[in-house]
Amino acid sequence: MPFQISNEAALAEYGSLPNGTLSVHNIAIRPDGTQHDIHGYAEVLNAPENTKLAVHFSTWFAPFIPIPKEGNYWILYVEDNYHEAIVGTPDRKYLWILARTPKIPHLKLEDLLQRARKLGFDRSKMIFDP
């Protein structure tokens, strides 16, 4: 994503808001430890499954970025223990492997990447956090 370059680590924080949407806070951590972040919110588009979201960020240019009616943030797979998840865009252009820990064991990561490949994502274009 334009928000994060390849040598930055990423952190995503989500929360529930009183109006039924979700808060979104993405943080990019530079190699020198400094950070930059972006805030937004997400609307669930397919309750009660809650797997298709429309994510809106609070920037001046956000209104100019179209969000498909099917959403722009799909939760495609979640581990039984909720420690890891696969999230992507419906056009298969963007993919995120999310985890509750800074590192995912190699075999677990390979399993998640294989699942993502089967879902139509191109692993060769992935950028991994340092």
pLDDT in tens, 15-56: 999 999 999 999 999 999 999 999 999 999 999 999 999 999
Q: Is the pLDDT score of 92 beyond 90? A: yes
Range of the domain at 90: 9-122
Distance (Å, rounded) from C-alpha 80 to C-alpha 96?
18
Residue 107 belongs to some domain of the structure: yes
Residue 2 belongs to some domain of the structure: no
Peptide bond into 48 cis (omega under 30): yes
Residue 127 belongs to some domain of the structure: no
Residue 105 belongs to some domain of the structure: yes
pTM equals 0.87
Per the structure, how many domains does the chain have? 1
Write the CATH number for 30. 2.40.128.20
33 by Cβ neighbours in 10 Å (0-12 / 13-18 / 19+) ranks as exposed
Q: Is the model more confident about 58 or about 91?
A: 91
Q: Which two tokens stand for residue 76?
A: 């495609």
Peptide bond into 63 cis (omega under 30): no
DSSP assignment letter at 114: H
Residue 69 belongs to some domain of the structure: yes
